[in-house]
Chains A and B, each alone.
Chain A
Amino acid sequence: EPEVTQTPSHQVTQMGQEVILRCVPISNHLYFYWYRQILGQKVEFLVSFYNNEISEKSEIFDDQFSVERPDGSNFTLKIRSTKLEDSAMYFCASNRGAQETQYFGPGTRLLVL
Chain B
Amino acid sequence: DTGVSQDPRHKITKRGQNVTFRCDPISEHNRLYWYRQTLGQGPEFLTYFQNEAQLEKSRLLSDRFSAERPKGSFSTLEIQRTEQGDSAMYLCASSHNMPRGTQYFGPGTRLLVL
| A and B bind | no
Chain A interface residues toward B at CB < 8 A: none
